[in-house]
Chain A
Amino acid sequence: MSSEVNLSIELCGIKFANPFILSAGPPTDDVKMVKRAFEADWAGAILKTTSVENQVVELVYPMMAGLDFEDKKLIGLGNIDLISEHHIDEVEGRVAELKKEFPDRVVGTSIMGAKKEDWQTIVRRLEAAGVDLIECSFSCPQGSLGEKPGAMVAQDPKLTKTIVGWVKGAAKRAPVFIKITPQVADIVEIGQAVKEGGADGITASNTIPSLMGINLDTFEPYPTVDGKSSYSGLSGVAIKPITLRVIAELAKNVGIPISGTGGATTWQDVVEFMLVGAGNVQFCTAVMRNGYRIIDDLKDGLTNYLDDKGMSSPSELIGRTLPKLTVHDELSREYKVVAEVNRKTCVKDDLCYITCRDAGHEAIELDEERLPVIDEEKCVGCGLCVAICPVWDCVKLKKVEKKEKK
Chain B
Amino acid sequence: MAERQKPPTLSLEKRVKSFEEVKGTYPPHQAIAEAARCLFCHDAPCNKECPAGIDIVKFIRRIKTKDFRSAIRTVRESNVLAGVCARICPTEKLCEKPCSATELVKPINIAALQRFVTDLEMREGIKLPKKAAPTGKKVAVIGSGPASLAAAAELAKAGHGVTIFEVKSLPGGVLTYGIPSYRLPKDVVMAEIDFIKQLGVEIRTDTPLDEKLNIGALFGQGFDAIFIGAGVGRPYFVRMPGEDLNGVYSALEFLSQVNLYQSEEKKEFPLRVGKRALVIGGGNVAMDAACSLLRLGAEKVHIVCLESFEEMPAFPSEIEFAKEEGVEFHPRSKPLKILGDSNGMVSGFEGIGIRWKEPGNFSPSNAIPIEGTEFSLEVETVIEAIGQGSDPSLAPILSGVKTTERGLILVDEEIHMTSREGVFAGGDIVNGGDTVARAIGEGKKAAEGISNYLKSSIKGES
Whether B29 pairs with A300 at a CB distance below 8 angstroms is: no
Whether B29 pairs with A391 at a CB distance below 8 angstroms is: yes
A297 within 8 Å of B by Cβ? yes
CB-nearest residue of chain A to B66: A268
Whether B1 pairs with A300 at a CB distance below 8 angstroms is: no
**B residues 1-58 with Cβ under 8 Å of A?**
1-2, 27-29, 32, 40, 42, 58
B131 within 8 Å of A by Cβ? no
How many angstroms between the C-alpha atoms of A380 and B113 in the bound complex?
38
CB-nearest residue of chain A to B29: A392
User: Known interface pairs A290-B40, A300-B70. Does A268 touch B65 (Cβ–Cβ under 8 Å)?
Assistant: yes
A residues in contact with B58, CB < 8 Å: 296
A301 within 8 Å of B by Cβ? yes
B residues in contact with A308, CB < 8 Å: 69
Question: Count the B residues whose beta carbon is within 8 Å of the partner chain — how many?
Answer: 16
Whether B1 pairs with A297 at a CB distance below 8 angstroms is: no
A residues in contact with B67, CB < 8 Å: 267, 297, 300-301, 304-305
Whether A266 pairs with B28 at a CB distance below 8 angstroms is: no
Min Cβ gap B379→A in Å is 43
A residues in contact with B66, CB < 8 Å: 266, 268, 301
B76 within 8 Å of A by Cβ? no
Whether A304 pairs with B70 at a CB distance below 8 angstroms is: yes
Whether B42 pairs with A392 at a CB distance below 8 angstroms is: no
CB-nearest residue of chain B to A290: B40
Q: Which of A266, A267, A392 contacts B27 (CB 8 A)?
A: A392
Whether A301 pairs with B65 at a CB distance below 8 angstroms is: yes
Min Cβ gap B43→A in Å is 11
Min Cβ gap B77→A in Å is 12
Min Cβ gap A306→B in Å is 12
A291 within 8 Å of B by Cβ? yes
A367 within 8 Å of B by Cβ? no
User: Known interface pairs A291-B42, A304-B70. Does A297 touch B65 (Cβ–Cβ under 8 Å)?
Assistant: yes
Q: Is the interface of A mostly helix, strand, loop or mixed?
A: helix
B residues in contact with A345, CB < 8 Å: 27
A residues in contact with B106, CB < 8 Å: none
B residues in contact with A300, CB < 8 Å: 62, 67, 70
B416 within 8 Å of A by Cβ? no
CB-nearest residue of chain B to A393: B28
How many angstroms between the C-alpha atoms of A268 and B65 in the bound complex?
8
Q: Which of B1, B42, B70 contacts A301 (CB 8 A)?
A: B70
User: Known interface pairs A71-B1, A391-B29, A392-B29. Does A267 touch B69 (Cβ–Cβ under 8 Å)?
Assistant: no
A390 within 8 Å of B by Cβ? yes
Count of A-B contacts judged by CB separation below 8 Å: 38
B residues in contact with A71, CB < 8 Å: 1-2
How many angstroms between the C-alpha atoms of A267 and B66 in the bound complex?
10
How many angstroms between the C-alpha atoms of A393 and B65 in the bound complex?
17
B61 within 8 Å of A by Cβ? yes
How many angstroms between the C-alpha atoms of A304 and B62 in the bound complex?
11
Whether A304 pairs with B29 at a CB distance below 8 angstroms is: no
B residues in contact with A267, CB < 8 Å: 65, 67
B residues in contact with A290, CB < 8 Å: 40
Min Cβ gap A301→B in Å is 4
Q: Which of A291, A301, A390 contacts B29 (CB 8 A)?
A: A390
A residues in contact with B40, CB < 8 Å: 290
Min Cβ gap B308→A in Å is 39
CB-nearest residue of chain B to A291: B42
**A residues 355-406 with Cβ under 8 Å of B?**
390-393
Min Cβ gap B124→A in Å is 12
CB-nearest residue of chain A to B105: A71
User: CB-defined interface of A176-194 with B at 8 Å, one 1/0 digit per residue?
Assistant: 0000000000000000000
User: CB-defined interface of A280-302 with B at 8 Å, one 1/0 digit per residue?
Assistant: 00000000001100001100110
Whether B28 pairs with A392 at a CB distance below 8 angstroms is: yes
**Residue in B42, B58, B62, B67 with the greatest tally of chain A CB atoms within 10 Å:** B67
A residues in contact with B2, CB < 8 Å: 71
Whether A266 pairs with B65 at a CB distance below 8 angstroms is: yes
**B residues 65-93 with Cβ under 8 Å of A?**
65-67, 69-70
B residues in contact with A266, CB < 8 Å: 65-66
A residues in contact with B69, CB < 8 Å: 304, 308
How many angstroms between the C-alpha atoms of A155 and B70 in the bound complex?
43
Min Cβ gap A18→B in Å is 15
**B residues 223-249 with Cβ under 8 Å of A?**
none
A residues in contact with B61, CB < 8 Å: 297
User: CB-defined interface of A68-84 with B at 8 Å, one 1/0 digit per residue?
Assistant: 00010000000000000
Min Cβ gap A308→B in Å is 8
Min Cβ gap B448→A in Å is 24
How many angstroms between the C-alpha atoms of A268 and B1 in the bound complex?
25
Min Cβ gap A355→B in Å is 18
How many angstroms between the C-alpha atoms of A111 and B373 in the bound complex?
86
B residues in contact with A392, CB < 8 Å: 27-29, 32
How many angstroms between the C-alpha atoms of A71 and B32 in the bound complex?
15
**A residues 284-336 with Cβ under 8 Å of B?**
290-291, 296-297, 300-301, 304-305, 308
Min Cβ gap B113→A in Å is 15
Q: Which of B27, B28, B29, B62 contacts A297 (CB 8 A)?
A: B62
CB-nearest residue of chain A to B2: A71
CB-nearest residue of chain A to B69: A304
A residues in contact with B29, CB < 8 Å: 390-392
Q: Which of B27, B42, B62 contacts A391 (CB 8 A)?
A: B27
Min Cβ gap B127→A in Å is 10
How many angstroms between the C-alpha atoms of A297 and B27 in the bound complex?
22
Min Cβ gap B71→A in Å is 9
CB-nearest residue of chain A to B31: A392
**B residues 91-119 with Cβ under 8 Å of A?**
none
CB-nearest residue of chain A to B30: A392
B residues in contact with A390, CB < 8 Å: 29
Min Cβ gap A40→B in Å is 13
A residues in contact with B27, CB < 8 Å: 345, 391-392
CB-nearest residue of chain B to A301: B67
How many angstroms between the C-alpha atoms of A267 and B70 in the bound complex?
13
B residues in contact with A301, CB < 8 Å: 62, 65-67, 70
How many angstroms between the C-alpha atoms of A228 and B261 in the bound complex?
75
11 pairs across A/B with beta carbons < 8 Å? A71-B2, A267-B67, A291-B42, A297-B62, A300-B67, A301-B67, A304-B69, A308-B69, A392-B27, A392-B29, A393-B28
Q: A266-B65, A297-B65, A301-B66 are in contact. List 11 more A-B contacts (CB 8 A).
A: A71-B2, A266-B66, A267-B65, A268-B65, A296-B58, A297-B62, A300-B62, A300-B67, A301-B62, A301-B67, A308-B69
In the A-B complex, the 4 residue pairs with the smallest Cβ-Cβ separation, listed nearest first, are A301-B67, A392-B29, A300-B70, A392-B28
